[in-house]
Chain A
Amino acid sequence: MATVIIPTPLRKFTNQTAKLNVDAHTVGEVIEKITLDYPELKKHLLDSQGAVRSFVNIFSGDDDIRDLEKEKTSVDHSTIISIVPAIAGGLH
């Protein structure tokens, strides 16, 4: 059961819920489940190929999943997943 922190601009699409608890083993499963539960999130997080949009950064704890195993990064009950916009050209 990982916890996903939804950034303020996306809470409109999660009924203003800031944290979602998701039963999953990988980041990819987490994304799949939250976009099933909240379909409007999908176009904001994923491109037409189903990959995380290039300017959306997803963190597992303090680490960008692109520096780990991307969508295959494993999660457990203590994992905090964060969705962070890449403002100001920042990719970190």
Chain B
Amino acid sequence: MSACRRGEYSYIAIHKRNNYKGPDSGALFIFNMFYQNTKSIAFPGVKEKLASLQARIGNTPLISFPNIFRKDQVMVYAKQEWKQLSGSVKARAAFAIVRDALERGQLHPGKILLDATSGNTGIAYAHIGKFLGIPMTLCLPENASAERIEILRSLDVKLILTSRFEGTDGAQETARALAENKPDQYFYADQYKNENNWKAHYEGTGVEILRQLPGITHFVTGLGTTGSFIGTGRRLKKKDPAIRLISLQPDNPLHGMEGWKHLETAVVPQIYDPWLADENLEISTEEAYEMIKTVHDKEGLILSPSSAANLVGALRVASQIEKGIVVTLLPDNADKYGELIKKLLK
């Protein structure tokens, strides 16, 4: 073997050990690469537990909507992201953030994981933290749904409820101030700034989509922390620059799509790359709510508002092309939106 850098050697060694057959096994390969390079981690049994969690993250199945959309030579698929740990797409970023912090020694016994969330990332952190024995403090807007607050409390998360007038921007500000005041006490994960957020999708979601749908022509998803759009988009563009990336935003600063941000009036996440999207579409909450009803009536599936909004965007793109494969994400299902669903489907 010719001389190579340390990383390249472990890459080849792990390929052999895993009987690596190509990029299809990317997620496992990447985990093993991290795992082999893991530094001493202080929480008891954490390496084994991380491996156990990893097996429950990603590799989500696709779904199509044949009773809603049919067009010759155009197909629409969505990844059911709730079919993984903690029931949402946020398992990917939360796991990548926690794992990296453990490996770097930023998170160790005596430290509390701190972050701001509108709910799903918090629930993902809470599942991971409960399993690994990591204490969690999360800042959450007080107008988050009762289900979210109940789930987080049941998983022993210390909640700091922030102003209902400030959304997740206010929660971020509270978390940042707490981290600055007590840096020895907290590891501030900062999902809006943490590079592991988008990298989780670069190494996971994007690879999975290319494996599941090699002919993908369009990727469509909403912007929140922007991690799923940026990470998946960068992976897809690397594979084929002709794949079009369409980001979605709410049409209104006050909207009902959990996790989404109206970037014009919100604090823009530091991981956001404004040059990546080929196009940006605005989706109204009313369109998303109508889609929840349509999908329920015609497909027998109950989506969350953000999943329904992604589907609105994907179908809009699909209706404008003559040929192609449009892919979107369904970040979560309706399990945590009981009050809203009851109202919409009555």
Interface of A toward B, CB cutoff 8 Å? 5-10, 12, 43-45, 47, 53-57, 82-92
Residues of A within 8 A of B146 (CB): 90, 92
Q: Which of B147, B254, B264, B337 contacts A7 (CB 8 A)?
A: B254
Q: Which of B118, B147, B304, B343 contacts A87 (CB 8 A)?
A: B118
- 7 more A-B contacts (CB under 8 A) besides A43-B252, A89-B304? A7-B167, A8-B167, A57-B143, A88-B145, A89-B145, A89-B336, A91-B340
Q: With A9-B262, A87-B258 given, is the CB distance from A92 to B286 under 8 Å?
A: no
- Residue in B closest to A6 when the chains form the complex, CB atoms: B165
A-B complex: 9 closest residue pairs judged by Cβ atoms: A9-B253, A55-B256, A89-B337, A90-B145, A85-B254, A88-B144, A7-B165, A9-B265, A88-B258
CA of A12 to CA of B264, assembled, Å: 10
- Asked if B170 is at the interface (CB within 8 A of a chain A CB), the reply is yes
Which residues of B137-184 have CB atoms within 8 Å of chain A's CB atoms?
141, 143-148, 164-170
Interface of B toward A, CB cutoff 8 Å? 118-119, 141, 143-148, 164-170, 252-256, 258-259, 262, 264-266, 285-286, 289, 304-305, 336-337, 339-340, 343
Contact (Cβ within 8 A) A8 B170: yes
Contact (Cβ within 8 A) B166 A8: yes
Residues of A within 8 A of B285 (CB): 53-55
Q: Which of B167, B253, B304, B340 contacts A44 (CB 8 A)?
A: B253
Residues of B within 8 A of A56 (CB): 254
Q: Chain A's nearest CB lies how many Å from the CB of B254?
A: 4
By DSSP majority rule, is chain A's interface helix, strand, loop, or mixed?
A: mixed
Contact (Cβ within 8 A) A9 B143: no
- Residue in A closest to B262 when the chains form the complex, CB atoms: A9
Residues of B within 8 A of A86 (CB): 143, 256, 340
Q: Which of A5, A54, A84 contacts B143 (CB 8 A)?
A: A84
- Residue in B closest to A90 when the chains form the complex, CB atoms: B145
Residues of A within 8 A of B252 (CB): 43-44, 53
Contact (Cβ within 8 A) A8 B169: yes
Contact (Cβ within 8 A) B143 A88: yes
- Residue in A closest to B339 when the chains form the complex, CB atoms: A91
Among B143, B254, B259, B264: residue with most chain A CB under 10 A: B254
Residues of A within 8 A of B166 (CB): 7-8
CA of A85 to CA of B145, assembled, Å: 12
Residues of B within 8 A of A10 (CB): 253-254, 265
Contacts A/B (CB < 8 Å), 8 sampled = A54-B289, A82-B165, A83-B254, A85-B143, A85-B167, A86-B143, A89-B336, A92-B143
Residues of B within 8 A of A57 (CB): 143
Among B144, B170, B264, B266: residue with most chain A CB under 10 A: B144
CA of A45 to CA of B343, assembled, Å: 20
Contact (Cβ within 8 A) A54 B286: yes
Q: With A9-B266, A54-B289 given, is the CB distance from A87 to B253 under 8 Å?
A: no
Q: Chain A's nearest CB lies how many Å from the CB of B148?
A: 6
Among B165, B169, B337: residue with most chain A CB under 10 A: B165
Q: Chain A's nearest CB lies how many Å from the CB of B288?
A: 9
CA of A54 to CA of B141, assembled, Å: 20
Q: Chain B's nearest CB lies how many Å from the CB of A48?
A: 10
Contact (Cβ within 8 A) B254 A44: yes
Q: With A54-B285, A89-B256 given, is the CB distance from A12 to B265 under 8 Å?
A: yes
Residues of A within 8 A of B167 (CB): 7-9, 85, 87
CA of A85 to CA of B253, assembled, Å: 8
CA of A57 to CA of B258, assembled, Å: 15
- Residue in B closest to A86 when the chains form the complex, CB atoms: B256
Contact (Cβ within 8 A) B339 A89: yes
Residues of B within 8 A of A12 (CB): 253, 264-265
Residues of B within 8 A of A53 (CB): 252, 254, 285-286
